[in-house]
A and B are shown apart, each in its own frame.
Chain A
């Protein structure tokens, strides 16, 4: 089954404790992206990757890191999480191009105390 898999689905952690949210897709997509969804602010892009070893900042990259060492994986790293990073996070992937729909993972709910 074609899918984007995020882990964990839920995480409660404390300020400053490094964490990684994994994302993997099995559709051989070149493009991958991370979004966060917050009430009143909607969905905003954090980072994206056009292909292996090619990553770039989205609209809200501060406090996050990403890497793309393999085509299928695009982990999101919070080196020193803070409470303002409490949010619902989505990983998405697609074929490159404006006419291609992005397919989303099921989301990761992060709470940082």
Chain B
């Protein structure tokens, strides 16, 4: 069965510092994608970054990078130079080849950025 685990229910980070949000996954699919979404208090789901299971390099997108360790089945999100607007809920998600296209979400990590 596919599963995403986010073990940090809440985290604090000082403004301008970097922060790592943890995500581990479990799947039997040979091909899959890993995604991070941001959900601010207003409720919308914003796509941040994606990593394919066969990608050799870690994905980066502006201040976001994904630390992908396939052997450890982890896909941690790193946010550099945190900003107050980064305060939100962050979800790790996975989409497998054999799962009807659905996204499997973790329980989320609530990030609070302190000034």
CA distance A102 to B33 in the complex (A): 11
- Complex CA–CA separation, A50 to B105 (angstroms): 20
Given A43-B91, A103-B47, also A98-B33 (CB < 8 A): yes
The interface residues of chain A, by DSSP majority, are classed as strand
* Size bin of chain B's contact surface: 20 to 34
Q: CB-CB contacts of B94-111 with A at 8 A, as 1s and 0s?
A: 011100111101111000
What is the chain A residue whose CB lies nearest that of B37?
A104
**Contact partners of B103 in chain A: CB under 8 A:** 33, 35, 43, 45, 92, 102
Task: Judge whether B33 and A104 touch: CB under 8 Å.
Answer: no
Contact B95 A98 (CB under 8 A): yes
A94 to B50: give the CA distance in the assembly, Å: 13
| Nearest B residue (CB) for A88 | B43
Distance (whole angstroms) from the CB of B28 to the closest CB of chain A = 13
User: Which residues of chain B have a CB within 8 Å of any CB of chain A?
Assistant: 29, 31-33, 35, 37, 43-47, 50, 52-53, 91, 95-97, 100-103, 105-108
A interface list, Cβ under 8 A from B: 31, 33, 35, 42-43, 45, 48, 50, 56, 58-59, 88, 90, 92, 94, 96, 98-107, 109
